[in-house]
Amino acid sequence: MKNRKQAYHIETEKGLINDPNGLSYFKGKYYAFFQWNPNATDHSYKVWGKTTSQDLVHWSEPVIALQASEAYDKDGTYSGSAVSDGETLSLYYTGNVKRDGVRYPEQCLAQSKDGVHFKKYGSVLSLPDDYTGHFRDPKVTKEDVWKMIIGGQNKKTGKGDIIQYTSIDGTSFKFNKIIGISKQYEMIECPDLFTLDAHEVLMYGLQSRNNDTDECLDAHAVYLIDRLSDLDKGMHMDEGYDFYAPQTFVDAQGRRIMLAWMSRFSDAQEVEFAKDGHIHCLTMPRELSVKKGKLIQSPVREMYELCHEIPYTNHMKIQRQAMIEISPLEHMSFSINKELSIHFDEGISIERYDWAEQIYQKKSWPIKINHMEIWLDTSSVEIFANNGEFVYSARLDPQAEDLLLASSKEPQNINVYRLEIKNDYNK
């Protein structure tokens, strides 16, 4: 069996994980919760998994934090968020309830004083009359009042909205306003609204659905800055194949940090990875900023502490955990095994090997790349170019135990770093 086990990405030993939830900093630790089916590599059942870290690099072994155990969440504890006031960690999540095949979601609350034991307090917001059962993913913040934004499918339009609710105590929420609407997409998921560098930033997922069959057809993550009402104008957050459901939090240093689900696999791609008994992972943590009207994503600085430079020579082999830094030349190509190749010409094109179809998937962009960082783990790549203006995330199927690095021109402006990760769990 191939080794696809990641070294510095959050994943589980068994089952399926997807959306990051409840990202927070609480009593000296980073908390990452996530959707998890610990019983199978499909979406038939969901609990909240939990892992913690002191440094955003080394993560504890995942455990179940919230079970699907009550009348208001019996069919799954679905995505949500967390609020920490220093003494209490409050988790807000969608309780999935189905009756005769129809969804009746409840937005629910659970709290903890120690980050280990969570007490459920039931529903804080029931399904409004104006929305279908596709009403989920509460992102809650606490300022002068408690605010909840949530994605919903409007009954009248059959399209997606982002709605804001407010509360004076965090336990009962009332309608405040509609943040934005879509005229094109049937559902909006995983909204996140925050202020960053004096700008309002709204992140969310645009989802196309067949309302007759209740089937999801496509989804991708986007963002808006300052002008938030027209959700169809969202700009892509990531140019790769495997990125969705991003969520952010602010740490003790005031950084806005984001993680996302690192998978948009096709059914055929999932079949191969599911043979391992576990499937999917989260991205590495990224720090966000706003510059010149764009959302900038950069690896958190803790990742650079793992880097140990080694001399680059053409056709060299290196361990699979590595970072490659390139100041590109025009008309140059760079390849990593048969898994990935990057071509710098008038613009840039990236080819990723599709292990299911056994073809290369190619994307091209008419932009000039001045600098690029390629972060590699056992079965993934995350590319940050032009200081985080361009980001590309994709899973890879390892074709060899090591990485074979090759450039079409003699090595120059290429730096290679091995990543030294001392982690008892992620190894």
- Letter for the amino acid at 298? S
Range list of H helices, 297-418: none
Q: What is the DSSP letter of 59?
A: B
Between strands 380-385 and 294-299, the pairing is unpaired
Residue 365 burial (C-beta neighbours within 10 Å; 0-12, 13-18, 19+):
middle
- Burial track 257-271 (b if 16+ CB lie within 10 A, e otherwise): bbbbbbbbbeeebbe
Other CB atoms within a 10 A radius of the CB of residue 338 amount to 12
Between strands 15-26 and 278-279, the pairing is parallel
Kind plus residue range of the DSSP H or E element containing 97: none
């913690």: which residue's tokens? Answer: 52
The sign of the dihedral angle between the CA atoms of 41, 45, 46, 51 is negative
How far is Cα 245 from Cα 190, in angstroms, rounded to an integer?
6
How far is Cα 237 from Cα 288, in angstroms, rounded to an integer?
11
How far is Cα 206 from Cα 17, in angstroms, rounded to an integer?
20
Residues 6 or more apart whose Cβ sits within 8 Å of residue 249: 23, 24, 25, 82, 256, 257
Catalytically annotated residues: 19
Between CA 265 and CA 230, with CA 389 as vertex, the angle to 5 degrees is: 75
- Burial track 121-135 (b if 16+ CB lie within 10 A, e otherwise): eebbbebeeebbbbb
- Are the C-beta atoms of 191 and 151 separated by less than 8 Å? yes
Q: In whole angstroms, how far apart are CA 320 and each of 59, 298, 379?
A: 19, 21, 8
- Are the C-beta atoms of 65 and 78 separated by less than 8 Å? no
- Letter for the amino acid at 242? D
Nearest residue to 105 (alpha-carbon basis) of 66, 77, 83: 77
